[in-house]
Structure 1
Amino acid sequence: MNSKVIGLSLFALAVSGCASKEERQIASGSYQYLEASQQKVLEVPAELDTPQFSRRYELPELGENADPSLVGERLKVVSPALILPLVAGSHVEEGSEDAKVLFDQIDDSEPLQKTVWDTVLKYLEKNQIGVESFEPDNRLLVTDWVVEMVETESAWYDFTDSFKPVRKKFKFTMNVAPHGRTASLKSNLIAYEDPEDNKTLSQVDVISKRNEESAFLNSVIAEYDFGLRLARTQRIAMIRQGFDSNMGFNEDGEPAIMVDAEYENTWPRLLLVLRKMGFDVKDLDQSTGLLFVQYTGAEQSWWGNLFGSSEGLQIEKEDYRLKVSDVGEKTAVTFMNDESAPFDTKLITEVFAPFKEYMGTENLDI
């Protein structure tokens, strides 16, 4: 007897646990409310006073854009998909019903609009999705057919998986703020074909359409975030590896040390190099390329022995200034005294040897 009860319980559990994806998205229970009709308003005889009726349970009127057919099994009770602003500086608009994300400019190396479009195109290419039309001037991109293999419904006792192809097309539109440092990217599902169920875009409900748009946009956002993190990792690795340096002249013809690296990569490496050489940075401004330092002497003079000295640099322990300037793919570092007069050939030669050594040392640490 007990074995029969256990067997029936396991069978019931198996059946109840095998609800289809569609069944899990709709309300369970009875739909008898669909057969309900509006009750007749209470008629009060003319000779009697009309009582005050409560409007507490009165249903609101449908909006003009509402779909009256979304009732019963056609009404999904799951929450709509959310846009995931994973990228630094990205956010969503509060209360927006669109599948849209906003990006803020965090990298001034190229226009924000180009960065976003390049990310979209890179994602499409990586996933072998064609582009039907691309109009950068109109800030519009339409994809070719996106084919997704969707699992089909089967009996609860069927343990084999079967899939069907579903084709979709998306449109991306971009809106750039007048100041050019904020751009929104919106995804729209513009075509849908499910040949097996003979389903087209007009038969896709509002929630499902929004979920499709959000999922596709989230994939692009994830690609954007991955690209930024990859670039940041590569940049850190490059900075840790070090750069070569040579004597030269800045754009004003003054003696300077030329670093074989771009300005953005040279700057963080330079701060560490100065510390190793015995300079304390008192103030700095990366936007203008100015550093105000004080030479206090190297904490350890092991490198001094390599260059024939055990006392560090042969310069006065005073305040100095450095001017860092962008020279194409190189960076010019000009050492100056406290009155902004550039070092002469003798002084710049004095600092060049340890500067070159530290700037080129891999995995330089404090």
Structure 2
Amino acid sequence: MKNNFIVTIFAALALSACSSPGSRERTSGDFEYMKVKQQSAELKIPEELERPQRSNRYDLPTLASSTSAKALLGRDVRISSPRLVLPLVAGSHVEEGNEGATVMFDQVDDNRSLDKTIWDKVLSYLEQNNIGVESFDRDNNTLTTDWVISVTELDSSWYTFSSDFIEQAKKFKLSLNVAPHGRTASLTNEIVDYVDENGSSIISKMDPITQRTNEVDFLNYIIEEYDFGARLAMSERIEKIRDGFGSELGVNADGDPAVIINAEYNDAWPRLLLVLRKMGFDVIDLDQSSGIMFVLYGGVEDGFWSGLFSKETLPLEKDNYRIFVKRAGSNTSITFKSDENVNFDAKQTSDIFPVFQEYMASNNLDI
């Protein structure tokens, strides 16, 4: 029993050694084919026959003489899958046919310029990972990092029960290409220097697969940071909208009676849709870019339950109305109008304000 147990352990260790990270990226087996030389015996033609015309259509191509091409033979052939750029961020994608470490971004948040948003995310990732910036040319949209230190585990024999690590230093250049309309941009990453554990620069000897692996991995780290920040910001925004906002009576930019919401336009807009529904309005049509809503006030349904919730009843005729939503600095103004585009006067606005104010400030408003 004891002997069987020991044999099982050694078999498991042997199998684990065979599947080490380094070995999984290389070919295995014998490489006798590398010793085979091409036979180029000339076709023998009898003297009485005419020699046929020879075609080179099926000749084997000559192996390139470059160092990188000669290295990719036998055990040095890489069989790992090529690294893929991961477009995780909303509005991002990979352009078909682009072989570089490049990701495309589309404008999603109209509050900030796309190029500023991307660079902010890049700088945030570098700062969080203590990566310095060697140069940043904002006008030409290029950034070169300081040395990025990576630690790699070396393959070791299974019986040593220990691991060896080496440190390598790399520098990357990030380039942002923004479309003339400013709503689309591509971020490209390229490795510009690579120093091995001996302090020697090996960037000129790097094979294409290793180069792409390093470039795509670093770009994907930035994309992940971008995605996390975007999701965190969205989560915080949703929570803020759910908590509600304060509001007060005031005037809009034209001096007309209005309700002032203590929230930015993009936060006030979705909250307003919830509040209007609760107040008894049905939104028929809307355009957030111009800040206008066409609504129908249907009132509260008649019946026993309506008497218990009289606060929901507004002093309005069941009719069509218009609501204009405008930015007012860090606040948002709401102006109610009739279907004929006539502003509510101060009394009409103040009559509906108590109900509006209560729902706008309600926590976790439920429709």
Does TM-score exceed 0.5, indicating one fold? Answer: yes
Deviation at 1:88, TM superposition (A): 1.1
Deviation at 1:54, TM superposition (A): 9.8
Q: Equivalent residue for 1:214?
A: 216
Q: 1:181 aligns with which of 183, 187, 190?
A: 183
Q: Classify 1:362/1:61 alpha carbon distance in 2 versus 1 (closer, same or farther; 3 Å).
A: farther
Counterpart position of 2:272? 270
Task: Tell me the residue number matched to 2:16.
Answer: 17
Match of 2:318 in 1: 317
Residue 14 of structure 1 and its aligned partner are, at CA, apart by 2.7
Instruction: Find the counterpart in structure 2 of residue 29 from structure 1.
Output: 29
Q: Structure 1 50/209 Cα, relative in aligned 2: closer, same or farther at 3 Å?
A: same
Aligned length: 360
SS of structure 2 residue aligned to 1:240:
helix
**Kindly, what percent of the aligned residue pairs are identical?**
49
**Equivalent residue number for residue 258 of structure 1:** 260
Q: Which amino acid aligns with 2:212?
A: R
Query: In 2, are the aligned partners of 1:44 and 1:50 still within 8 Å (CA)?
Result: no
Map 1:1-366 onto structure 2 (within 5 A).
11-19=10-18, 20-45=20-45, 47-48=48-49, 59=60, 67-69=68-70, 70-196=72-198, 200-299=202-301, 300=306, 302-305=308-311, 312-366=313-367
Asked whether the 8 Å contact 1:168–1:193 carries over to 2, the reply is: yes
Give the CA deviation at 1:55. 8.3
CA distance in 2, matches of 1:233, 1:52: 74
Query: Residues of 2 paired with 1:37 and 1:4: CA distance?
Result: 49
Aligned-partner residue type, residue 119 of structure 1: K
> Contact 2:131/2:148 (CA < 8 Å) preserved in 1?
yes
Deviation at 1:289, TM superposition (A): 0.9
SS of residue matched to 2:37: coil
CA RMSD in angstroms comes to 2.6
AA at the equivalent of 2:42? L
Closer, same or farther: CA 16–42 of 1 in aligned 2, 3 Å: farther
**Structure 1 residues 47, 241: closer, same or farther in 2, change over 3 A?**
farther
Structure 2 residue matching 1:76: 3-state secondary structure: coil
Q: Which amino acid aligns with 2:147?
A: W
* Counterpart for residue 308 of structure 1: none
Label 1:199 to 1:277 Cα distance change in 2 as closer, same or farther (>3 A).
same
Counterparts of 1:23 and 1:56, CA distance in 2: 37
Distance 1:138 1:47 in 2: 74
**What code does the residue aligned with 1:328 have?**
G
Partner secondary structure for residue 67 of structure 1: helix
Q: Which moved more, 1:185-194 or 1:256-265?
A: 185-194
Tell me if structure 2 keeps the 8 A contact 1:83–1:100: yes
Matches of 1:301 and 1:268 in 2, distance apart?
29
Identify if the C-alpha distance between structure 1 residues 316 and 6 changes in structure 2 by more than 3 Å, giving closer, same or farther: closer
Q: Which runs of 5 or more structure 2 residues have no equivalent in the other structure?
A: none
Check 1:63–1:355 CA distance in 2 against 1; reply closer, same or farther (3 A cut).
farther
User: Which whole-Å CA distance do the structure 2 matches of 1:18 and 1:186 have between them?
Assistant: 37
Q: Does the aligned pair in 2 maintain the 1:239–1:265 contact within 8 Å?
A: yes
Deviations 1:309-331 (A, max 9, x none): xx811221111111111111111
Shift of 1:61: 6.0
Cα gap change, 1:139 to 1:153, in 2 (>3 Å): same
SS in 1 for 2:355: helix
* Kept after mapping to 2: 8 A contact 1:150/1:165: yes
